[in-house]
Homo-oligomer: A and B are copies of this chain.
Amino acid sequence: MSHLRLVLCQLDTVVGDVTGNAARIVDALRRAEDDGADVVAFPELAITGYPPEDLLLKPSFVAENLAALERVAGASRQCLAVVGFVDVTGGEDIGDAVAHAAGAGVVAREAAVRGAPRRLRNAVALCVGGDVLGVYHKRRLPNYGVFDEERWFAPGSADFELYRVAGALVGVSICEDAWFPGGPVCQQGRGGAALVVNVNASPYSMGRSADRLAVVRARVKESGCAVAYVNQVGGQDELVFDGGSFVVDAAGDVVAAAPAFAEDTLVVDLPLPPPPGEPRLAVVPVSTGPRAQEARPGPPRPPGLDEDSEVYEALVLGTRDYLHKNGFTDAVIGLSGGIDSSLVATVAADALGAEHVHGLAMPSRYSSAGSVTDATALAQHLGIELSTVPIEAAHRALGELLTPVVGAPPSGLTDENLQSRIRGVLLMAVSNARGWMVLTTGNKSELATGYSTLYGDSAGGFAVIKDVPKTLVYRLCRLRNQRAGYAVIPESVLTKAPSAELRPDQRDDESLPPYDVLDPLLEALVVNDRSIADVVRGGRDPQVVARVAALVDQAEYKRRQSPPGVRITAKAFGKDRRMPITNRYRDPAPDPASSSGAHRA
């Protein structure tokens, strides 16, 4: 049986780095050519990085992307390269149109946006022999969740073309195109394609890789063709792309897969049946037989990751890429001896190397002795630097300054927030002096309920675990200790009652329901947008549900000012959830409950 040597390049591109991305693509393309590849595929929008967002509104950026595509195409030789880029259609030069409109006042400018709408396309170029042989435009544009593709792109609608490579007919599609029964993948498979390449920039969330495989298998089943799924890898602001590219043959079996959370080049010699008859779609000839003489066995399948391990790897990669892609090598973290900061420090050490992580313990008059001893033990285990700065002198000085203004020494929430903000000021000063990025340590349960201090513990450049519910924080710590074979994160950190330690004998469960009650409620209310009545019907305490829902609503203003962090769930606080701050909607509770309860503001 004939075979086709397929190379999937699971690259970690950088948004905006058109020159660098193109160089990475050319380099990988050359290696694939040298290895006898018939088809080499790169991720969605590989030239610009994904998502380029409003860089797409800059005509100079789009033009640079087109020039880079020409360089990539120029480097193509015998194999067919599938290269993601931004295409421009519509006849006019976009630069002129926009520049003209910009000078012509608002009506004309908006008319240009509306009237010549979205002339950009999310595209792949089919490059061979130094040229662009064809272009495909994404047909299904996601415009929900974290995606805004209809903001920039028009959907493709041209007739499909198949490419005859190594004697087999190959189709192409982009990401969302694969998620629709009867959609572009199916149409090309039924139209005669033996293989459809699907290029992706599909961000990680828990359970996502199983979803992708199920969807691709469904396409294979309905269309009868093999599908090659290539994904990008790496962190981009709140998103982390997990890679995990794979190939499913026409029988529905996974014949090759790349690891998750790492760059990879997946080479697979795919046996292809002879075409069953005349294709019903236009065919562009590329090559008639395989370039590689003999089929090689595929690479071993990477070991699967359980869900908690996936999350941990996502946090590590997301953190590393955010710092490195933004020019930072080192991070500084406030270590309280609590579980959140312990996990963040551990992730940071795994992401950046222990020598690039700097702990700062900042005990106040209310800190327990354990807060410093636990932080010290953790730092020793991780091999990271730890400095200690008691904040008492600043706490006292600021308290004295405030007394005449507020009429009494700061107390209650004012004094709790004051301590937290002093720590924020110290961390940011160290950041400024040393050039280290501050990593914040708040988890999703806190962010959801507003149990944090704006400009205090929420101050920093990157919020590593902002999408990790507290119960999962515990699981991740245990996982990491298991991996290490000992309690890297000291056992006492895992067992003591969670506390902000901002007043004597404070405990989180004075202000919030226990986390094993809270987290499932947040999943229902926030991730799944269920109503209070619906959740209560599921057997929850109406007062507790109503109170949690009210806390979530009231904390929107704080979340809006929080730094980005790694998205690991199907709905993170970020681009996923666009709630108004000014919002008087209060989902009616079946049994109206008070929304009282002091929490830091």
Residues of A within 8 A of B (CB): 14-18, 20, 51-55, 57-61, 64, 98-99, 102, 105-107, 109-111, 113-115, 140, 142-145, 148, 150-151, 176, 179-180, 205, 207-208, 211, 214-215, 235-237, 321-322, 325-326, 360, 387, 389-391, 393-394, 396-398, 400-402, 404-406, 410, 413-414, 417-418, 421-422, 424-426, 428-430, 432-434, 454-455, 459, 461, 528-534, 557, 560-564, 570, 577-588, 601
Candidate in A53, A144, A533 with the most chain B CB atoms within 10 angstroms? A144
Q: Apart from A106-B211, A325-B584, A389-B401, what 19 extra A-B contacts exist at CB < 8 Å?
A: A16-B580, A54-B577, A54-B579, A59-B531, A60-B531, A60-B533, A98-B529, A102-B529, A106-B207, A107-B214, A107-B215, A114-B142, A143-B151, A148-B148, A321-B582, A326-B557, A394-B398, A397-B397, A406-B429
Residues in B with CB closer than 8 Å to A421 are: 424-425, 428-429
- Write the nearest CB–CB distance from A23 to chain B, whole angstroms: 12
Give the docked Cα–Cα distance between A207 and B211 (Å).
48
* A562 adjacent to B561 (CB under 8 Å): yes
- Give chain A's interface secondary structure class: helix
Determine which of B55, B99, B397, B428 lies in contact with A583 in the assembled complex, contact meaning CB atoms within 8 Å.
B55
- What residue of chain B has the Cβ atom nearest to residue A113's Cβ? B144
Knowing A61-B585, A114-B179, the reply to whether A391 touches B402 (Cβ < 8 A) is no
- What residue of chain B has the Cβ atom nearest to residue A20's Cβ? B584
- What residue of chain B has the Cβ atom nearest to residue A402's Cβ? B429
Determine which of B15, B99, B406, B582 lies in contact with A534 in the assembled complex, contact meaning CB atoms within 8 Å.
B99
* B326 adjacent to A14 (CB under 8 Å): no
Give the docked Cα–Cα distance between A148 and B207 (Å).
28
Knowing A60-B587, A114-B179, the reply to whether A389 touches B417 (Cβ < 8 A) is no
* B410 adjacent to A433 (CB under 8 Å): yes
Knowing A143-B150, A584-B17, the reply to whether A393 touches B400 (Cβ < 8 A) is yes
Number of copies: 2
Residues in B with CB closer than 8 Å to A586 are: 16
* A237 adjacent to B580 (CB under 8 Å): yes
Give the docked Cα–Cα distance between A58 and B214 (Å).
28
Residues in B with CB closer than 8 Å to A579 are: 53-55
* B529 adjacent to A59 (CB under 8 Å): yes
- What residue of chain B has the Cβ atom nearest to residue A52's Cβ? B580
Residues in B with CB closer than 8 Å to A580 are: 15-16, 51-53, 55, 236-237
Residues in B with CB closer than 8 Å to A577 are: 54
Pull 6 A–B residue pairs with CB atoms less than 8 Å apart, ordered by A.
A64-B588, A98-B529, A106-B211, A144-B151, A237-B580, A396-B397
Residues in B with CB closer than 8 Å to A564 are: 560, 581
Residues in B with CB closer than 8 Å to A401 are: 389-391, 393-394, 426
* A143 adjacent to B144 (CB under 8 Å): no
Residues in B with CB closer than 8 Å to A51 are: 580
Candidate in A60, A105, A429 with the most chain B CB atoms within 10 angstroms? A429
Residues in B with CB closer than 8 Å to A394 are: 394, 397-398, 401
Give the docked Cα–Cα distance between A459 and B561 (Å).
9
- Write the nearest CB–CB distance from A100 to chain B, whole angstroms: 11
- Write the nearest CB–CB distance from A589 to chain B, whole angstroms: 11
Give the docked Cα–Cα distance between A531 and B64 (Å).
11
Residues in B with CB closer than 8 Å to A55 are: 579-580, 583, 585
Residues in B with CB closer than 8 Å to A533 are: 60
- Write the nearest CB–CB distance from A183 to chain B, whole angstroms: 10
Give the docked Cα–Cα distance between A425 and B580 (Å).
26
Residues in B with CB closer than 8 Å to A111 are: 179
* B15 adjacent to A106 (CB under 8 Å): no
- Write the nearest CB–CB distance from A238 to chain B, whole angstroms: 9
Residues in B with CB closer than 8 Å to A18 are: 585
Determine which of B16, B414, B455 lies in contact with A455 in the assembled complex, contact meaning CB atoms within 8 Å.
B455
* A414 adjacent to B397 (CB under 8 Å): no
Residues in B with CB closer than 8 Å to A534 are: 60, 99
Give the docked Cα–Cα distance between A306 and B352 (Å).
55
Determine which of B17, B115, B582 lies in contact with A585 in the assembled complex, contact meaning CB atoms within 8 Å.
B17
- What residue of chain B has the Cβ atom nearest to residue A585's Cβ? B16
* A397 adjacent to B402 (CB under 8 Å): no
* B455 adjacent to A582 (CB under 8 Å): no
* A360 adjacent to B418 (CB under 8 Å): no
* B428 adjacent to A425 (CB under 8 Å): no
Give the docked Cα–Cα distance between A16 and B414 (Å).
30
- Write the nearest CB–CB distance from A86 to chain B, whole angstroms: 12
Give the docked Cα–Cα distance between A256 and B83 (Å).
57
* A15 adjacent to B584 (CB under 8 Å): yes
Candidate in A57, A207, A430, A432 with the most chain B CB atoms within 10 angstroms? A432
- What residue of chain B has the Cβ atom nearest to residue A180's Cβ? B114
